[in-house]
Amino acid sequence: MRTGLGFDVHEFKAGRKLILGGVEIEYNMGLAGHSDADVLVHSIMDAILGACGLGDIGVHFPDTNMKYKDISSLILLEKVRKKMEGKKYSIVNVDSILVIQEPKISKYIPEMKENIALALKINKDDINIKATTTEGLGPCGRGEGVAACSVVLLK
C-alpha cells in the first residue's frame, strides 16, 4: 500500500471557463493556468504521482510545452493513470477537498466524481469530494482563487 498527497491552487481570471473535476461550473470567472487549470484534477494527479514516486505534474506536463496549452486535465489524468499502471499499482480510493468561497459547487460533485472515475477506470464510490470555504479568510476566502488537496491510497 502507498499513499500520496497532492495540492494545487489557481487564481481566478476573467475570460476563462471555471472547470473543476472536468465539469464546467457556471461562474463569471475561470482559473488561470496553462491547461484548463482544473485544481481538483491537478491535486489528484499529484497525489497519484507522489504515491508512485514519479515526481509531480510539472515534471510530466510542463507549462512550457504548448501541446498542453488549454488541454483538459482529465486527459492528463488518464496519462497519469497509465503511468501508475506501468508501476503495477491500482487505486483503492481518492479523497479530495476543494477550498472555494464561491460559487457553491455541491450540485456539481456527482458529475465530478463520474468524470474522475471514468478517467481513472475506478468505481465512483471510491472517490470522495468535499468542498469548504475559509469563512472569508485568506486568498480563497477573499474569492481570489481555488485550492484543492487530495489523498490517494494505492495497492
The bridge status of strand 127-132 relative to strand 91-99 is parallel
In whole numbers, what is the pLDDT of the chain averaged over residues? 96
Task: Tell me the whole-structure pTM to 2 decimals.
Answer: 0.96
Q: Residue 44 sits in a domain of what CATH number?
A: 3.30.1330.50
- Which tens digit of pLDDT belongs to each residue from 91-121? 999 999 999 999 999 999 999 999 999 999 9
For helices 73-86 and 109-120, give the axis angle rounded to 10 degrees: 40
CA dihedral 76, 79, 81, 82 (to 10 degrees): 180
**What pLDDT shows up at residue 117?**
98
- Which tens digit of pLDDT belongs to each residue from 24-56? 999 999 999 999 999 999 999 999 999 999 999
Residue 103, domain extent: 2-154
Domain count, the chain: 1
DSSP 9-69: EEEEETTS-EEETTEEE--S-EE-SSS---HHHHHHHHHHHHHHT---HHHHS-TT-GGGT
Which residue matches cell numbers 499502471?
Answer: 85
